[in-house]
């Protein structure tokens, strides 16, 4: 996985973005649709699946553990599941490529099955700590041997029956929450996760849709999510809505490039995922939701985005969990806003595919943006609508979101921005540059 030859790219201003774009299927929902379908008894169909390297790593892992997964010529995926408790011992290590979501969620699935799985990944994933998932899964009885620092490669020996636990999340993490809930699927009794700060709730919505007995209630410490184990999941027909994280690049590009007017179709508007839209609207962005509807239990809309002058804001830290993946592109929007934008509360960015705070600071600074780095974010002094200077290099650090964010920065730069490697974009948005060409044709 993800051993692509580096692909350097110089990006320069191309004029306004015009037209209609459909973004790839939501990455979080795509991962979960494959996993839950593989645990259902019977055949599920999935339309709109994101076919990036991260999601394909999940598909390969579920195949290795017994599920039958095929893609039709019409792009519809069919999954014949093995049932909860039916995962088989894979014959070799599971290569997770660059996907932290696949790794943490699959660790949860395996933890309550009597199989032993070794997880490996690329250099970027192998540098990311897994300790926050290891801790609760160990409490449930799984034996986990990791590389130093709780990193990959990692061997997990599951146990059946596992022990149901009540676990309070020490940090806001939808992946850790989901790992515990997935381990709870095959654990007798009730497994609970207490969530002091709300995070994306795709697992809860989709597990209910598959027939799991799951409840969400408010308690004194936060949301209490309870799942009854030894569940029987029923096959589903899933339509994956467009990924709001992928849509974020076009939202910002259209907002900062004069004369732009685009419509982004079928975007997931789950309230735990719309932090970037809220922040951009606070800055004065023109983002209009059209034809709001519900698809497969998720709210969806088309977004019309037009160029608008942006003003600096202090980004409310409580938005962080609902836009954690979108901070890099928000930093780009702040670079052309009027005034000094302060975006903090994003400690999580330090342990993503790269240290996204340090990586974006270096990339923007090299291209003439004035900013200040904090432990949990950046303060950025914008150009007031003028192009950023550009003319410098940007190092992506094998991080797809850095590569795409700096591409958007190049569209609003006075001189080209030289990005060292845009190959990692394949992990989440294979058609990104094709779409860029069509919107700026």
Distance CA 422, CA 5 (A): 10
128 in a labelled binding site = yes
Q: Is the peptide bond before 161 cis (omega within 30 degrees of 0)?
A: yes
DSSP letters spanning 371-429: EEEETTEEEEE--TTSPEEE-SEE--TT-HHHHHHHHHHHHTEEE-EEES--GGGGGT-
CA atoms within 13 A on the CB side of 253: 31
CB 152 within 8 A of CB 130: yes
Radius of gyration of the chain (CA): 21
β-pair partners for 300? 268, 293
Contacts of 74 (CB under 8 A, 6+ apart): none
DSSP letters spanning 209-231: HTT--EEEEEETTEEEEEEESS-
| Per-residue tokens: 119 | 């997880």
Q: Report the helix count and the strand count for the chain, using DSSP H and E.
A: 13, 25
346 vs 169, 188, 351, 377, 435, CA distance in Å?
16, 36, 10, 6, 29
Strand runs labelled E in 220-297 = 222-228, 237-239, 261-268, 286-295
Distance CA 298, CA 29 (A): 10
189 in a labelled binding site = no
157 in a labelled binding site = no
Name the 3-class secondary structure at 338.
strand
433 vs 23, 37, 383, 392, CA distance in Å?
12, 31, 26, 20
CB 387 within 8 A of CB 394: no
293 in a labelled binding site = no
Query: Which residues participate in catalysis according to the annotation?
Result: 325
325 in a labelled binding site = yes
Angle (deg, nearest 10), helices 400-411 and 356-365: 30
397 in a labelled binding site = no
Distance CA 380, CA 372 (A): 7
205 in a labelled binding site = no
Distance CA 112, CA 56 (A): 23
Annotated binding site for 3-phosphoshikimate: 27-28, 32, 173, 175, 325, 352
Annotated binding site: 27-28, 32, 100, 128, 173, 175, 325, 352, 356, 401
Annotated binding site for phosphoenolpyruvate: 27, 100, 128, 175, 356, 401
């Amino acid at each position: 996985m993800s051993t692509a030859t580096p692909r350097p790219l110089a990006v320069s201003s191309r004029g306004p973005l015009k037209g209609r774009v459909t973004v790839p299927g939501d990455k979080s929902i795509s991962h979960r649709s494959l996993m839950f379908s593989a645990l259902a008894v019977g055949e599920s169909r999935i339309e709109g699946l994101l076919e990036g390297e991260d999601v394909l790593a999940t598909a390969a892992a579920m195949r290795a553990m017994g599920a039958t997964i095929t893609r039709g010529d019409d792009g519809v995926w069919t999954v014949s599941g093995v049932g909860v408790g039916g995962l088989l011992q894979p014959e070799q290590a599971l290569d997770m490529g660059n996907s932290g979501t696949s790794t943490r969620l699959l660790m949860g699935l395996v933890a309550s099955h009597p199989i032993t799985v070794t997880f490996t990944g690329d250099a970027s994933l192998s540098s990311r700590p897994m300790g926050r998932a290891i801790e609760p899964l160990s409490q449930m009885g799984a034996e986990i041997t990791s590389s130093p620092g709780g990193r990959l490669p990692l061997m997990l020996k599951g146990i059946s029956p596992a022990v149901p636990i009540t676990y309070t999340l020490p940090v806001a993490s939808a992946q850790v929450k989901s790992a515990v809930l997935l381990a709870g699927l095959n654990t007798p009794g009730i497994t609970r996760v207490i969530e002091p700060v709300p995070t994306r709730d795709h697992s809860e919505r989709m597990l209910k849709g598959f027939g799991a007995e799951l409840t969400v209630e408010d308690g004194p410490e936060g949301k209490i999510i309870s799942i009854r184990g030894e569940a029987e999941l029923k096959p589903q027909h899933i339509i994956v809505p467009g990924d709001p994280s992928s849509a974020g690049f076009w939202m910002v590009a259209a907002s900062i490039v004069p004369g732009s007017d685009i419509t982004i179709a079928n975007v997931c508007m789950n309230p735990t995922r719309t932090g970037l839209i809220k922040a951009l609207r606070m800055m004065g962005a023109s983002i209009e939701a059209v034809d709001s509807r519900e698809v497969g239990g998720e709210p969806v809309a088309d977004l019309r985005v037009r160029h608008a002058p942006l003003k600096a804001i202090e980004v409310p830290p409580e938005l962080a969990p609902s836009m954690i993946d979108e901070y890099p592109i928000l930093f780009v929007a702040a670079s052309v806003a009027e005034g000094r934008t302060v975006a903090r509360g994003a400690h999580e960015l330090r342990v993503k595919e790269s240290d996204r705070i340090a990586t974006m600071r270096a990339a923007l600074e090299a291209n003439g943006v004035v900013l200040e780095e904090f432990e949990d974010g950046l303060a950025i002094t914008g150009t007031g609508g003028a192009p950023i200077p550009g003319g410098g290099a940007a190092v992506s650090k094998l991080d797809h979101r850095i590569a795409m964010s700096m591409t958007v920065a190049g569209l609003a730069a006075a001189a080209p921005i030289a990005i060292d490697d845009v190959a990692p974009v394949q992990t989440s948005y294979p058609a990104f540059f094709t779409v860029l060409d069509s919107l700026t044709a």
